[in-house]
Structure 1
Amino acid sequence: MSRLTVLARKSIVEGSWLARMLRRKPLMLVAIALANKMARAIWAIMTKKEDYRDPARVAAA
C-alpha cells in the first residue's frame, strides 16, 4: 500500500500498467495486483538464478 499512497502516486509514470490500473480499479485491488506481480517477478528471478532486467531498458534496446 505504501507504493500507492498519495505522495507515491506522483512518481508513477503516466500510461504505465500501474497508472492504468489505478484509474480503473479500487485501490486495495490494485495493491493486491501489484504485490502479485512483484511476487511473480521475484519468483522467476530466483528460480532462473538471473539478475533483474528492467523491462523499460530491455524494450528500449
Structure 2
Amino acid sequence: MQTTITPEWKGEVRKRMTILGMTYEKLAEETGYSDSAIRKYMCGLYTSDKPRERIERVLGMR
C-alpha cells in the first residue's frame, strides 16, 4: 500500500514544523511514533497513512 503524501502536504508539514521549532524527534515524541517511523513516513517509505492524522493534530492542521 502506498501513502497519500503529496509535495504540498509535505511542504505544509515542514513549514509548520519550522514555525513551531519542531524537529522530527520532537514530532515523533508528540505523536507517539518512533523517530524512524516519522522519517520513513515523511519520505514516503511507510506502508500506511496511520501517522498522518496524529502529525496533522500535533501541527494544528486539523
- Give the TM-score range, shorter chain: 0.3 to 0.5
- Structure 1 length normalisation: TM-score? 0.36
Question: Which fold has the larger relative contact order, with Cα–Cα distance below 8 Å and residues 6 or more apart in sequence?
Answer: 2
TM-score of the pair, normalised by structure 2:
0.36
